Amino acid sequence: MFENSKTPLSPEEVKQAQSEAAQTTAQTRRKQTLNQLLDAVKKLMEAGLNATQVTIAELAGRSVRTVKRYWSEITKGKGGISSACIYSPPLERWHLIVTPLIKVGVFFCCVGICY
């Protein structure tokens, strides 16, 4: 019914095609992650909050380690933040961050208290 008119690839060609596909996939995932982090920064700034590595991670649903990996890209250029503050606000000020985030539909747990 169907004929396969393609010639089979050699093992080297298969390996090359797989390598190219993996590089394309990794590049796409990196772009998506960076966009998620930049969106989190934008939401924090629109809410008038300090965009720290911890708050960006919480809002984007990524780890702090991931945010640190992308930190130089987040803090430079358009859409980035001008302050390079990496620390969270003192615990007694968390309510100032959590209340606006709840209004935009973000829920997370901090020090055993879920918001």
In the chain, how many domains are there?
Answer: 1
Residue 61 forms part of a structural domain? yes
Residue 77 forms part of a structural domain? yes
Distance between CA atoms of residues 94 and 81, nearest Å: 20
Q: For residue 110, what is the enclosing H or E element?
A: strand 109-110
**How confident is the model at residue 111, as a pLDDT?**
40
Residue 51 forms part of a structural domain? yes
**Domain enclosing residue 66, as ranges:** 11-88
Residue 113 forms part of a structural domain? no
CB of 44 closer than 8 Å to CB of 59:
yes
Residue 94 forms part of a structural domain? no
Residue 67 forms part of a structural domain? yes
**Each residue's pLDDT expressed in tens, for the chain with a length of 115 residues:** 677 778 888 999 999 999 999 999 999 999 999 999 999 999 988 888 888 999 999 999 999 999 999 999 998 854 445 554 544 555 455 555 555 555 545 544 444 444 4
- CA angle centred on 98, ends 94 and 104, rounded to 5°: 160
**How confident is the model at residue 100, as a pLDDT?**
53
Residue 93 forms part of a structural domain? no
